[in-house]
A = this chain, B = another copy of it.
């Protein structure tokens, strides 16, 4: 086995640090007027690129019957094109490996993170502009249908993006693969270990991993077995095989359809300049309360030999978020507590989310009844119930150092099986059945499922 094929875990940090040193990065916040090729539309105040490509920051007006606020306005990232996030898999000596890249994004915490084999825009993929093709694109374009392990369209953050979707694609190959400088092959058990570290495996990898097919699906690809002694991992894997849970799949569909019918979220774009309660200063578009998030501008200098410089807007969150699953054993099978979550920008309007996803600081002064259900339970959990606890980053190409605490807490048998109407218990197998179809499971649930190693 050549050294390209595998990076022993104890050599990972040396390699990763070396990659970080190999590139020079400077990120600097700048006032909007120093943005190059980006500007505010004189009519609408929308922030966009002169070419009309990439994305624009527009206003969004939202009316909903979900939550305590029936109407609000906010800036939103409008990026209607579908991008591709791709993982390339190859077996060496019968063990599947995944090809990942140590990649810089301007908003990344620690500057570089492990990224998928392929991150391609729609124009990259369809080669409309005939520019330089992204590395490894051909493996995805030319994959024989029987070598495609997963392929589905998935939503991104509905509080930040308007109807943004990415194609999540996993492909196996038998061909020889040249391993380029920033790339390495990883075993799935290594990935499982790296996912327990903070801000190392990026969001794009996590969402694609969540699309791995259920373990009893009859496909040839089985990523890995839980490590010996990892009791929780073994139970997760069992829950990814068992077809029957507390509810039949038809019951889950019935519940989900009813929730989708109960909640409406009508969102329409408006000129950014007309977005009430939001202010534009020289270097920031912010809510007058200072809460939620702001839009900022950055100048980036990157490169080792050749230096590339560009400027772009980024979105910066006002506070760290919390994303958590309560899990519980029911009749011997591990179940996840899932919520039906309406959101303004998601494609499915109401999608399946983790038990909790919120910015806890926003609720700090509120009485318990006004706080999101199960938030206090998650935050008060003792260490012996904590099955996963790490800080993970959102996508660094759009978000400036945005991170969320990811928590999985196992509830005991005293935890009620009866939950509020918007919540339901399901197995990993059942949640994966929803992920396989597009627009059913939100990005927070998908990424947390991957982070906890439920594949």
Contact = CB atoms under 8 A, between A and B. Distances in A.
Nearest to A217: B250
A163 to B, nearest CB: 10
B258 A151 contact: yes
**Which residue, A126, A146, A148, A266, has most C-beta atoms of chain B within 10 A?**
A148
A251 B147 CA distance: 9
Nearest to A436: B253
A296 B128 CA distance: 43
A250 B153 contact: no
A250 B148 contact: yes
Contacts of A247: 145
A152 interface: yes
Contacts of A250: 148-151, 213, 219
Contacts of A299: none
A172 to B, nearest CB: 12
Nearest to A243: B218
A261 B146 contact: no
Nearest to A264: B80
Nearest to A163: B349
B438 A260 contact: yes
B439 A153 contact: no
Contacts of A71: none
Contact of A152 (B150, B153, B253): B253
Interface string A76-103: 0000111010000000000000000000
Contact of A261 (B167, B251, B253): B167
Contact of A151 (B125, B150, B254, B439): B254
A37 interface: no
B436 A439 contact: no
B251 A146 contact: yes
- Report how many copies the assembly holds: 2
A261 B145 contact: no
Contacts of A439: 439
Contacts of A255: 145
A264 B439 CA distance: 16
Contact of A153 (B80, B82, B257): B257
A9 interface: no
B257 A167 contact: yes
A440 interface: yes
Nearest to A84: B261
A250 B82 CA distance: 20
Contacts of A151: 250, 253-254, 257-258
A219 B261 CA distance: 24
A144 to B, nearest CB: 10
A262 interface: yes
A170 to B, nearest CB: 10
A437 interface: yes
A190 interface: no
Interface in A256-270: 257-258, 260-262, 264, 266
A44 interface: no
Interface string A171-196: 00000000000000000000000000
Nearest to A146: B251
Given A266-B80, A437-B440, A145 B254 contact: yes
Nearest to A252: B145
A353 to B, nearest CB: 17
Nearest to A143: B254
**Which residue, A251, A255, A257, has most C-beta atoms of chain B within 10 A?**
A257
A109 B266 CA distance: 35
Contacts of A251: 145-146, 148
Contacts of A84: 261
A4 interface: no
Interface of A: 80-82, 84, 122, 125-126, 145-146, 148-153, 167, 169, 213, 219, 247-248, 250-251, 253-255, 257-258, 260-262, 264, 266, 436-440
10 contacts: A82-B260, A126-B262, A150-B250, A151-B257, A151-B258, A152-B257, A167-B257, A213-B250, A260-B438, A437-B440
The 6 A-B residue pairs whose C-beta atoms are closest, nearest first, are A437-B437, A151-B254, A148-B254, A145-B251, A151-B257, A82-B261
